[in-house]
Structure 1
């Protein structure tokens, strides 16, 4: 494929990602937001493929689409009261949100235009990407990896405690 075709495909995936993410944020229907989140996750995975990060792209699809999005959809569909509740908050923080968005866009454009070269570096990986990620995770980044697992364990225990606490309160009343 030539460079023009690759650029067009990249911009199509970038547009799908940004537009579906905007639909997630601005939609008032939770089901529509969840389904548009599917396109956002797939768009991000496609952008990872363009960055030659195939393992991260597959992980994106398996973890986010296969795990988190399916869990979110089941949670929304099994909750009957979600459709009858007003989801829009009374307080709208439009002005701070717009200012923060503009500041973020200016920062990204500044980074884009002041960076000298966007070409890949000279260093090449030896072996597969998965092997390199595994070696880095189990050597240089072992402490952050373990700390992250402890934080996830505490979050899981907290969620289990809160779920059990609600059931105990309902039985007493």
Structure 2
């Protein structure tokens, strides 16, 4: 049963990614990107990487994709704009993609999958939280202060002069 659900998400993610690339309507492409990112988050859950799944949803879907959708909605007449897919670099890009796919397929083929030991699933969120509050407390706080400074700087720049 788990294999069926996993392959459902794999096929859904690949199909949505193809729609993102091949769609001529930006709104459809953005919605397909939403499905693609949700599919990737589902695959992270299958890999017992619950922290990465949550991060995927919060950062990419909750932040970047919503920003992209606001940009599309606030741009006038963006739904009627058609994107041209004819390009000089299309053939070169297809060759590069085929070479990368062939390299990845070769690497998957030569990997001795049966010799790799299976690890027990772990609670990654708990372990990351413990590490952030003990061993990596100083870098965590430095990153927090840096983000706070960027937020204050953005607020100062966005403020209207009276």
Any idea what SS the aligned residue of 2:118 has?
A: coil
Mark the runs of 5 or more structure 1 residues left unpaired by the alignment: 165-173
Q: CA offsets, 1:76-131, max 9 Å, x none?
A: 01110534555326633221111111111112111212111255337x75xx4123
User: Is the counterpart of residue 103 in structure 1 residue 110 in structure 2?
Assistant: no
Instruction: Give TM-score, length-normalised by structure 2.
Output: 0.73
Point out which structure has higher relative CO (alpha carbons under 8 A, 6+ apart): 2
Q: Map 1:41-80; keep pairs closer than 5 Å.
A: 41-80=37-76
Aligned residues: 156
Partner of 1:171: none
The CA deviation at 1:47 is: 0.6
CA RMSD of aligned residues (A): 3.7
Contact 2:25-2:80 at 8 Å conserved across structures:
no
Q: Distance in 2 between matches of 1:87 and 1:55?
A: 36
Deviates more, 1:23-32 or 1:95-104: 95-104
Q: Map 1:58-137; keep pairs closer than 5 Å.
A: 58-83=54-79, 85-88=81-84, 91-117=87-113, 119-121=117-119, 125=122, 128-134=123-129
Any idea what SS the aligned residue of 1:82 has?
A: coil
Mark the runs of 5 or more structure 2 residues left unpaired by the alignment: none
Q: Distance in 2 between matches of 1:96 and 1:42?
A: 30
Q: Distance in 2 between matches of 1:137 and 1:104?
A: 36
Q: Distance in 2 between matches of 1:86 and 1:11?
A: 33
User: Is the counterpart of residue 9 in structure 1 residue 24 in structure 2?
Assistant: no
Q: Distance in 2 between matches of 1:43 and 1:21?
A: 10
Q: Distance in 2 between matches of 1:14 and 1:80?
A: 35
Deviates more, 1:100-109 or 1:31-40: 100-109
User: Compared with structure 1, are the counterparts of its residues 90 and 98 closer, same or farther at alpha carbon in structure 2 (3 Å cutoff)?
Assistant: closer
